Amino acid sequence: MGKTALVFSGQGAQYPGMGKELYECSAAARQVFEMAERVRPGTLTQCFEGTKEELSLTINTQPCVFITDLAAAAAVAEKGIRPDFTAGFSLGEIAAIAFAGMLSYEDAFRLVCRRAELMDKAAHEHPGAMAAVMKITPQQTEDICAAFQQAYPVNYNSPAQTVVAAAENEIDALCEKVKESKGKAVKLAVSGAFHSPFMDTAAAGMRDYLQQVTLQDPTIPVYANCTAQPYSGDYRELIAQQINHPVRWQTIVENMIQEGADRFIEVGVGKTLTGLIKKINGDVSAVNIEKKEGLDALE
């Protein structure tokens, strides 16, 4: 019998109306959304009725995507599905640690609100840009980044996709270098250079914030973005480092498969992780749950 991994989406796939179907069809999801509304009034309106522009602001994106992720996971659990492992991409990692019992849902939501503020502030103070690099290997991408003063591979997504962060005055030249290497580079519509040294001040701020947070041991293994291994050691440091260190998504998925995972359920906004998982290993099952139809099809 294979094992199930529950994976939580990150920011980038947000859209107006996200989570509304979950709110309407699942009592467990509704409870999660209502908790968020008590802590941060206006969250439901942003998720269900907010404009694309409003949802693209980091201070709104992170709380709204996080709570939609967590609501989707609650709806999946409500159906009696118990995953063997969990992980989240970037912001999704905070939802994963909450689902695994390391933090209460309310404390995790407050942490995400603070994380969003810190990362938004760092993005304004240390402007940068990001691009998805495709059709060349991660090693080739690393070599290209090394030729620039401030360019870093930050998301190791699949064998043929690596996202990079760079200074605004270097991103175009970097994309040109990728093209010269027979690759493809697409600049991303994001508000900061996440998971790179551009976020050092945000990571430091999170480290300070975490001193007042109590963390429990996870009830199921949570694979950390930084190490691609289950959480162990200093939990607070793993959460803080995640902000200014690369997301090793490909290795996380490969490690879960090595431990027996053959079914991946992506919860939250969009199908990004489902697509990446299929590119990493075409032999495993991967589905996304963000609406009633997907939830009803789960067994």
**Which residues carry out catalysis?**
90, 195
Amino acid at position 172, single letter:
D
Tokens at 8, concatenated: 């939580």
Strand order in the sheet with 161-166: 151-158, 161-166, 129-134, 184-187
DSSP readout, 155-181?
A: EEEETTEEEEEE-TTTHHHHHHHHHHT
Using CA atoms, how far residue 237 sits from 106, 192, 211, 230, 234, in Å, is 20, 22, 10, 14, 5
Give me Rg for the CA atoms of the chain.
18
* Residue 284 CB-density burial (10 A; 0-12 exposed, 13-18 middle, 19+ buried): middle
Strand partners, 267: 8, 289
- Tokens in use for 28? 């467990």
